[in-house]
Structure 1
Amino acid sequence: MGENKVITKDMIINDVIQKYSKTIGIFKDFGVDSCCGGGFSIEKTAAMSGGDMEKLLEKLNKAIDE
């Protein structure tokens, strides 16, 4: 399951949203700031919002697989 992930914690949020537009709702659901924090890595911005990194990446990758 984890070996097929496309989105990783070191990817830039804006790059992920640009490539996979449906991920913006997931970032919002997890309280990850995709506006001001969009120029940073998922890991950095999610850490600032106190989000669960593993669950966030799981949801993001599930969304792009659908």
Structure 2
Amino acid sequence: MGEKMIITKDMIINDVIKKYPKTITIFSKFKVDSCCGGGASIEKTAGMSGVDIDSLLQALNKAAV
């Protein structure tokens, strides 16, 4: 029923981008710092940017397929 998430909130942004290069456009679209904040987890960086983590993860996982 529920889709399996490949990318999770505890993953490090730089690791996600290395493994799934298409996700960099998603981080940019959501205005999540994938440069200076790239060494932190998606949850931490998205939280600091006030981004809805569920929407971000959904978009990232769609791009990663």
TM-score by length of 1: 0.93
More helix by share: 1
Unaligned runs of 5+ in 1: none
**Identity percentage of aligned residues:** 71
TM-score by length of 2: 0.94
State the SS of the aligned residue for 1:21: coil
Q: Cα RMSD over matched residues?
A: 1.1
Structure 1 segment 34-53 matched on structure 2, within 5 A: 34-53=34-53
State the SS of the aligned residue for 2:22: helix
CA distance in 2, matches of 1:55, 1:25: 14
Unaligned runs of 5+ in 2: none
Instruction: List structure 1 segments (4+ residues) > 2 angstroms apart after TM superposition.
Output: none
The number of residue pairs the alignment matches comes to 65
